[in-house]
Amino acid sequence: MALMRKYFVAGIVRYWLIHTDYWQTIANRVEIATPLNSWKRLIEGVYLYDHGIDPYEGDSFHESPIMLLFFHFILKKVPYLLPLIFTFMDILTAHILYKTSKAFVRLFEETQEKNKQHVAEESKTMLLNKSQLNEAPDYVLSVYLFNPYSVLNCVGMTSTVTQNLLISMSLWGAASGQKLLACIFIALATHQALYPILLVVPISILLADVNKGCNKCSYIRTLLAFVLCWGFLIYISAYIMDGSYRYVYNTYGFILTVPDLKPNIGLFWYFFTEMFEHFRLLFVCAFQINALALYVVPLTLRFHKEPVLLATVLIALSTIFRSYPCVGDVGFYLALLPLWKHLFTFMQQKFIVGCAFIITSVLGPTVWHLWIYSGSANANFFFGVTLSFATAQIFLITDLLFAYIKREFTLKHGSSRRIDDKPAKLVLQ
């Protein structure tokens, strides 16, 4: 009952905000709408497609042809249902996340039981009991439904709403052991935004864990299913565009080569505004490797026993380092954090990170207005705020990971910090 009330309230808030006068302002804000996901560009693309002009010929539309077809259908047949559709998708995402976190909690319990023998005596109190574990999904739901980032993301009617839905469906598919479901949805998410490809790794591990059996064959089967689904989607999109693969330059090519330098909450825009032409290619490659390839293998090797943490961290890292992030992505991984509330005691920078989030989120629009509308500030102000926001997110993630390994150590060796009755400290070496 409380659940239905939460859904209802969240739905009403979103629906009402879409119908206020502020909707246009919210949908146009740079933090919420990027060239990849903004509603304005979707309308433009659909309009061009409707009038027989190839939307990928110009520079305005960067969604996949499947989205183009989907929204073309909706805008032609039932345009008045759009706010309802977006609200419904967001609520559905929240519900799927709730069910997924329930499945994850069950996995925690099982792993905890399995590893009970390795836990030191004095740390047995740190183990999670059922009530603690069952609180987590409720918190996940509340955070996703009511945190301002996801609310604004939904109100802005950006396509990140669909992306969040697809990722949460794939996580649920992985958590409940349905390989095909997981692969289809992660392929759809990758087809739209490319960065969710990183999640193939934690999803394969999850599927292997849930479906007991030969691990290696499970990985290979998952990978194969993913590649086939993704290839099929690329082919379908080309079929929609009359057999031409030109859309690839406007979607994947756009994400990878970053030609549009519109400000957003990421690091790329000002860096490449001020970059020398000779070095541009090197740094684009460096940044994309940083976002896509650098951390996957090491984190997997370190956290392969905890695929849920791996998924959370990879989603967060791809949000911080991707070429066109938006607050919708931030809201999504923030919703996954309550799963790890047992780590909060070990985190040392909660206060700083929290304050930084609040301050930068408020300061961002202020300095943007000063720069663009008042003309009394300049681009450096907004850049500084963006940098601080990125730093705060980085601190959050690294703090989370440190808290995890500290808890792991404490569980194994107890909480005393003494060697031979001499004071000692925990160091990494």
31 makes contact with other proteins (CB under 8 A): no
Nearer to other proteins, 90 or 399 (CB): 399
Q: Which residues pair with 215 in a beta bridge?
A: none
387 makes contact with other proteins (CB under 8 A): yes
Nearer to other proteins, 175 or 313 (CB): 313
44 makes contact with other proteins (CB under 8 A): yes
Between 65-77 and 215-240, two packed helices, what is the crossing angle to 10 degrees? 60
Identify the CA nearest to 324 among candidates 192, 142, 141: 192
How would you classify residue 295: left for phi > 0, otherwise alpha for psi between -120 and 50, otherwise beta? alpha
Identify the CA nearest to 197 among candidates 293, 308, 298: 293
Site for other proteins in 284-303 (CB under 8 A): 285-287, 289-290, 293-295, 297-299, 301-302
Residue 139, burial from CB neighbour count under 10 angstroms (0-12, 13-18, 19+): middle
Binds other proteins by CB under 8 A, chosen from 12, 217, 362, 424: 424
**What's the rounded Cα separation, in Å, for the pair 222 and 185?**
12
Minimum separation from the CB atom of position 171 to other proteins (A)? 22
Torsion sign, CA atoms 182, 225, 217, 290: negative
Q: Which residues pair with 418 in a beta bridge?
A: 423
Applying CB under 8 A, what is the total number of residues that bind other proteins?
A: 83
**What's the rounded Cα separation, in Å, for the pair 247 and 252?**
8
Q: For other proteins, which stretch binds (CB under 8 A), given 132-140, 216-224, 352-360, 421-429?
A: 421-429
Minimum separation from the CB atom of position 303 to other proteins (A)? 9
Site for other proteins in 115-144 (CB under 8 A): none
391 makes contact with other proteins (CB under 8 A): yes
| Residue 250, SS3 per DSSP | helix
171 makes contact with other proteins (CB under 8 A): no
Minimum separation from the CB atom of position 357 to other proteins (A)? 16
Q: Which residues pair with 419 in a beta bridge?
A: 422
352 makes contact with other proteins (CB under 8 A): no
Cβ 321 vs Cβ 267: under 8 Å: yes
Nearer to other proteins, 2 or 301 (CB): 301
Torsion sign, CA atoms 300, 303, 307, 310: negative
The rounded Cα 116 to chain-centroid distance in angstroms is: 32
281 makes contact with other proteins (CB under 8 A): yes
188 makes contact with other proteins (CB under 8 A): no
Minimum separation from the CB atom of position 198 to other proteins (A)? 14
Cβ 382 vs Cβ 364: under 8 Å: yes
**What's the rounded Cα separation, in Å, for the pair 182 and 204?**
9
Site for other proteins in 353-372 (CB under 8 A): 371-372
2 makes contact with other proteins (CB under 8 A): no
Torsion sign, CA atoms 217, 314, 35, 59: negative
282 makes contact with other proteins (CB under 8 A): yes
Site for other proteins in 207-266 (CB under 8 A): 259-263
Site for other proteins in 55-94 (CB under 8 A): 55, 57-60
**What's the rounded Cα separation, in Å, for the pair 358 and 139?**
20
Minimum separation from the CB atom of position 178 to other proteins (A)? 29
Minimum separation from the CB atom of position 201 to other proteins (A)? 13
| Residue 416, SS3 per DSSP | coil
**What's the rounded Cα separation, in Å, for the pair 324 and 326?**
7
Binds other proteins by CB under 8 A, chosen from 134, 244, 345, 380: 380
Binds other proteins by CB under 8 A, chosen from 74, 89, 256, 275: 275
Minimum separation from the CB atom of position 57 to other proteins (A)? 6
Minimum separation from the CB atom of position 301 to other proteins (A)? 4
Minimum separation from the CB atom of position 247 to other proteins (A)? 14
Site for other proteins in 317-346 (CB under 8 A): 317, 320-321
51 makes contact with other proteins (CB under 8 A): yes
**Which tokens in the block code for residue 240?**
């929609």
15 makes contact with other proteins (CB under 8 A): no
